[in-house]
A and B are shown apart, each in its own frame.
Chain A
Amino acid sequence: MRRFLLPVMTIWWREIIRFRRQRSRWVSAIAQPLVFWILLGGGLNASFRPAGVPEGTDYIEYFYPGIVTLVLLFTAIFATISVVQDRREGFLQGVLVAPVSRWCVVLGQALGGTTLALLQGALFLCFVPVIGVPLSVVSVLSMIGVMMLLAFGLTNLGLMIAWRMESTQGFHAIMNLILIPIWLLSGAFFPVSGVPVLLEWAMKFNPLTYGVAALRRCLYLGNPTIAGEIPQLTLSLLVVSLFCAVTYFSAACMAYRRPNVA
């Protein structure tokens, strides 16, 4: 057990230390979604009312769970970019020749990314009073729980890609072509009701849709009707958990398929 936990813990710890020493990462991970939220949410608030959402919910409120998801996505992406850097700078080689299974390596990296994403996501909870939603302790705790799952899944998704990537430039292309569209089609930005059929299907098969739905359900735990026409909490949690398991498994497989680094 120690042989499994000790490497996982130390890889996780290193991600945290590195993050602490790179202040720019804090700023970019929190500030960018905040600006998005204020500009897009504030801008669209006057002219856009999401379909299938009860009266009284304005856009900036609707957009909130989506923007929390974006915070998680950004942090997860930054955390996984560090894998690409580790390989380029040679650090990863030292880890790969150690008597440590790739399952441990990937788990440590994923937990590192998850912790960072969670910290920032939780920080974003401070903005809930701005949208005027009353929050209970249970609601906050359950949102943190969902964020944890979601962050773990997203970090693993990033790791799956990062283990295959040679350069960070390549990663940016993937981010814009795959990760951001996944986010856009998750119900974060606009609800599924009323969209063209093709988009509707894409959104229904998008695991992130269930992540955003779970967050929204937890936000309105006291008054479920405000959440609108979105998947139920149980189904959402089930899909997100499955997403975590599949992405972790795939990321570890990627790590095994790339024995040769540098």
Chain B
Amino acid sequence: MACIEVENLRHAYGSRQALAGVTFHISQRELFAFLGPNGSGKTTLFKMLSTLIPVTHGQARILGYNLVHESSAIRKHLGVVFQHPSLDEKLTVLENLRHHGHLYGLWGRSLRGRIQTVLDHLDLGDRAGDLVETLSGGLQRRAELAKAMLHQPKVLLLDEPSTGLDPGARRNFRASLARLRDNDGVTVVLTTHILDDAEGCDRVGILDAGQLVAVGTPDELKERVAADVVMIATDAPEQLRMKISQQFGYESILLDRSLRVECRQGHEFVRDVITAFPDEIQSARFGKPTLEDVFIKLTGHRFRGEEEQHQ
């Protein structure tokens, strides 16, 4: 059964179109990512789904409720994790959770029980009494997630949840989301510009310039790029790029000090290119296409989230 159904959703800030008519369905117990560079409309979409921006054009239903005029009924079932922290730094983790529970009508013994459960699930038990401002970035994110899960929402919405996390904390956080889907049956919808985040999801929707250009499982999407990808590390990327173009006829893309070449028989190309320019190549790696390759293929331009990903 569809948990979120969206038809032709549009939104504009003045004359700038942020969402240009998106349509998609997300099933229950699905881990779904909207992948797109900055400015692709994913935060606008997130805000509309989380009831912060009213729906003016198009149709959207969450758990059967109409987002246009039943937003207060929807709010009870939504857990929301914002891109910017929404915990009060001057309060302890426990105080934040208690405050949040009261907002959702929880109190007394049931609230205490729920707080204990989410703290245990997210390994925050021993930090419950600490002020939020004293926690590390990763712990703060986990506390955000604990807060969003406190009232047992059926749908969890997360806007750029991995921003500011180191790779280890990011992995932990992704594992927490998968556990919520598996153990609690929660539908998890996140927005991200980080390719790794999207890779681990059940399905991915690729957003660009306010349009949903493709939806599918990561594997389905990657099948759309019928080529291999070879990454070549070199000290002289510009010269090598020209030489490869002249000798093999492949156009390559420069990324930092690496060249990325898309070609049919990747394994043969790796052998040939190393043989041809043994002194200029430090390493050559052959791989199957990533979601970024899919993005380039579908939109015709580079994924601008790349810079943030490397930071």
Contact = CB atoms under 8 A, between A and B. Distances in A.
Interface of A: 2-3, 6-7, 9-11, 13-14, 17-18, 21-22, 89-91, 93-101, 259-262
Given A14-B91, A17-B91, A90 B107 contact: no
A90 B82 contact: yes
Contact of B82 (A10, A94, A260): A94
Given A2-B105, A18-B88, A262-B84, A10 B47 contact: no
Given A7-B102, A259-B52, 10 more contacts: A6-B105, A14-B99, A17-B95, A18-B88, A90-B82, A90-B86, A94-B86, A94-B100, A99-B104, A262-B82
A13 B100 CA distance: 12
Given A89-B85, A259-B54, A260-B47, A10 B102 contact: yes
A89 B90 contact: no
Nearest to B89: A89
B99 A89 contact: no
Contacts of A96: 52
Contact of A14 (B47, B88, B105): B88
B145 interface: no
A100 B80 CA distance: 15
Contact of A259 (B53, B99, B105): B53
Contacts of A14: 88, 91, 95, 99
Contact of A95 (B47, B76, B78, B103): B103
A240 B50 CA distance: 39
Contact of A6 (B54, B72, B95, B107): B107
A34 to B, nearest CB: 26
Q: Which 7 A-B residue pairs are closest in the complex by CB-CB distance?
A: A10-B102, A94-B86, A90-B84, A98-B103, A99-B75, A90-B86, A99-B76
Given A3-B105, A10-B102, A91 B78 contact: no
B86 A100 contact: no
B75 A91 contact: no
Interface in B110-163: 147
Contact of A93 (B54, B78, B82): B82
A17 B147 contact: no
In the complex, which of the residues A22, A97, A98 has the most CB atoms of chain B within 10 Å of its own CB atom? A97
Contact of A97 (B52, B54, B98, B105): B52
Interface string B279-295: 00000000000000000
Contacts, number: 79
A108 to B, nearest CB: 10
B51 interface: yes
Contacts of B53: 259-260
A93 B52 contact: yes
B84 A97 contact: no
Contacts of B75: 97-99
27 contacts: A6-B105, A10-B99, A11-B99, A13-B99, A14-B99, A18-B88, A18-B91, A21-B90, A89-B89, A90-B84, A93-B86, A94-B82, A94-B87, A94-B100, A94-B147, A96-B52, A97-B75, A97-B78, A97-B80, A98-B75, A98-B103, A99-B76, A99-B103, A259-B52, A259-B54, A260-B52, A262-B82
A210 to B, nearest CB: 36
A93 B102 CA distance: 16
A22 B89 CA distance: 12
B84 A89 contact: yes
Contacts of B107: 2, 6
Given A98-B75, A99-B75, A259-B53, A91 B87 contact: yes
B16 to A, nearest CB: 15
Contact of A10 (B51, B89, B90, B98): B98
Contacts of B105: 2-3, 6, 99
B163 to A, nearest CB: 12
Nearest to A90: B84
Contacts of A10: 98-99, 102-103
Contacts of B102: 6-7, 9-10
A45 B102 CA distance: 51
Contacts of A22: 90
Contacts of B86: 90-91, 93-94
A14 B102 CA distance: 11
Contact of A91 (B51, B72, B88): B88
Contacts of A2: 105, 107
B90 A99 contact: no
Nearest to B73: A99
A84 B89 CA distance: 15
B82 A98 contact: no
Contact of A261 (B52, B78, B91): B52
Contacts of A262: 82, 84
A65 B91 CA distance: 35
Contacts of B50: 97
A211 B140 CA distance: 45
Contacts of A101: 72
Contacts of A18: 88, 90-91
Contacts of B85: 89-90
A99 B72 contact: yes
Contacts of B91: 14, 17-18
